[in-house]
Amino acid sequence: MDSVATADRRQNIVTDPVRVMVVDDSVVARGLMTRWVDEDPELAVIASHRNGKLAVADVMRSEPDVIILDIEMPEMDGLTALPLLLKARPGVQIVMASTLTRRNAEISLKALSLGASDYIPKPDGNSSMTTSSDFRRDLVEKVRALGRRCQRRRLPSAPREAVAAHPVARAAVSPSLAGEAVPARRTAASGSFKLRNWSSVMPKALAIGSSTGGPQALAKVMQTLGPGLKGVPVFITQHMPATFTAILAEHLSKASGLVAAEGVDGESVTAGRIYVAPGGKHMLVRKGATGPVIRLSDEPPVNFCKPAVDPMFQSIAEVYGPSVLSAILTGMGSDGARGAVAVADHGGSVVAQDEETSVVWGMPQAAANSGACAAVLPLDELAATLGRVLKGGRP
């Protein structure tokens, strides 16, 4: 391919349809997901199969960007097919789809550790799936975002301005979010942002928000920090439904060596413990008679999310002020940007994961664009930096 053709192709990455394969043994589910995906002008279903064996046999020919992969199927299930699909089509983005049971939640989280990009819980029963607007919206948004990521990574030298122009890649944040900031500093993979100064106060709480790709990133951070977390409480909001968040807490406990569990309304906050926002509830921190306490809120979704990062960050900023250390990890959308500004405005520190190491660079980019961050870093460096700051060292 000559240089002109290559440049044209790179420029067109924001308009080429995302190629999608649907793999599900249910005719109804397969038909619904195929129709919903095809109705989005940015997406195109190029293959659909009833089991993993057929998908593996076809993946090299059809060359999908994204595969929606059911877990329970005859002949070859999703977990068995997953590594074979990744081997045959390196870089393909795989979304695991399953009904919301504890067993399937455990399998979905295991699939993430084996290379799946994300998961989506299917409504229980065909009639529920047909009428679930939330499931349809989540499915299409995840496929679109992951598909664009796959296309960009297959064309690594694509012009940044072309990628940024795409609505999926651009995190739109209100100008009102921007606060006082120090001059822009260029980071390795994330462009230029106005950065705040780090807080000079020793951290008394660590708050983390994440979404797509978050379970893997959280496990990495918890493994790195481990015993270094014993001096502070850790508050985590990961966009997940109920059942999933309880299992996530168990995984984070193993990764960190600390006690991790879903937050319980009214419980006292203790250093060295990890509190995970339970699916379907916003987790907040409030001042209690003898110290901070967990509060669970059943208020409507924020940024289409419940739990959401924004209310958690905002409440923690009010309680801990300049002693908050926070991080925004990989995820779709802009949840966490307003909360990050609240943390920074109260004197705390915010660090965002960079584009190169994020599965989807939506939430971290939104936080970076808000002017609230002290740094935008690759995941390994982010975790190491959190560890140094928690020990009272320099970032």
Q: Which residues are catalytic?
A: 211, 239, 335
Cα distances (Å, whole numbers) of residue 79 to 31, 86, 140, 147: 22, 11, 22, 21
CB contact at 8 A, 185 and 195:
yes
**HSE (CB half, 13 Å, CA atoms) of 163?**
22
CB contact at 8 A, 57 and 90:
no
298/36 Cα distance (integer angstroms):
30
CA trace torsion 189, 190, 194, 197 (10° rounding): -60
Strand partners, 208: 236, 327
Instruction: Please name which of 264, 389, 381 lies closest in space to residue 324, comparing C-alpha atoms.
Output: 389
Angle between helices 244-256 and 214-225 (to 10 degrees): 30
Q: Count other C-beta atoms under 10 Å from residue 221's C-beta.
A: 30
